[in-house]
Structure 1
Amino acid sequence: MPLYAAITYTADVDWTAPEQADEMAEYGAFSAGAAAVLRGGAALYPTSTATTIRLSEKGGDVVTSDGPYVETKEVLTGFFLLECADLDEAISRAAEIPAAWNGAVEVRPVIPMG
């Protein structure tokens, strides 16, 4: 069956903070309910922990900057890897992810590597 990335975009929060415990429990409930199709995933630390890199050309010097590439209201906060029969099933499952209620979930097919 094909794999789909369900990429979450929400407010930029620290998911390890105690005030996020209730919402993290909702994500745990989603994970438990989607166990049959769930193949992986992770929450990301806030964008303040990010490092953006650029190269002027292939093999060029690496230039780094702190933080995300751009500032936005909603940021990439995590992903789930879903193995579903088709896009319709992946969308149905992604609609159960808490990020869909207060942010957005992007569903994208995964290209197998190797």
Structure 2
Amino acid sequence: MPKYTLLIYGDSAQWEAMTDEQWRAHDAAHAEFRAAAGDRVLGGQQLEPSPTATTLRSTGTLDGPFLETKEALGGFYMIEATDLDEVLGLAKLLPEVRAAHSGVEIRPVIDHE
């Protein structure tokens, strides 16, 4: 079955400003996504804020995120699905799709086996 990575982007400042109540609603929406996707979720994690990133380039190791951008990668899911339409249906459950400061990028995974 094809695999897809759902990359969750958003404004770190917006995430840091969320109240406990907003975080509970946010976490509940992710729980709804995971329940709907079931065993199609192969993995996924929330990431530490982008300033904690370390970038490795040919010019050396740098502290901080790769790009100067307002939207940072905040987390990801790896899922199996029959096709992109199935992925889109599931991804619409993620709260980042509905928030004005964030979004979800869906990328097919190349199988090298």
- Which bracket does the TM-score occupy, shorter chain normalised? 0.7 to 0.9
Identity across matched positions, percent: 40
1:35 lines up with 2:38 in the alignment:
yes
For residues 56 and 30 of structure 2, what CA distance do their matches in structure 1 show? 30
Which is greater in Rg?
A: 1
Amino acid at match of 1:44: L
1:52 lines up with 2:55 in the alignment:
yes
Query: How far 1:80 moved relative to its partner?
Result: 0.8
Q: Count residues in correspondence.
A: 106
Match of 1:9 in 2: 9
Which has the larger displacement, 93-102 or 27-36? 27-36
Alignment of 1:16-95 (within 5 A): 19=20, 21-22=23-24, 23-56=26-59, 63-95=60-92
For residues 26 and 90 of structure 1, what CA distance do their matches in structure 2 show? 16
Describe the SS at the equivalent of 2:38. Answer: coil
Structure 1: segments with no counterpart, 5+ residues: 57-62
Match of 1:60 in 2: none
With normalisation by structure 1, the TM-score equals: 0.80
Query: How far 1:10 moved relative to its partner?
Result: 1.3
Kindly indicate whether the alpha-carbon contact (under 8 Å) linking 2:36 and 2:90 is maintained by their aligned counterparts in 1. Answer: no
Question: Compared with structure 1, are the counterparts of its residues 99 and 84 closer, same or farther at alpha carbon in structure 2 (3 Å cutoff)?
Answer: same
Describe the SS at the equivalent of 2:23. Answer: helix
**Superposition CA RMSD, Å:** 2.0
Query: How far 1:18 moved relative to its partner?
Result: 7.5
Describe the SS at the equivalent of 1:112. Answer: coil
Deviations 1:74-112 (A, max 9, x none): 111111111111111111111111111111111111012
For residues 88 and 111 of structure 1, what CA distance do their matches in structure 2 show? 18
Amino acid at match of 1:105: V
Question: Structure 1 segments of 4 or more deviating over 6 A?
Answer: none
Structure 2: segments with no counterpart, 5+ residues: none
Query: How far 1:53 moved relative to its partner?
Result: 1.1
1:112 lines up with 2:107 in the alignment:
no
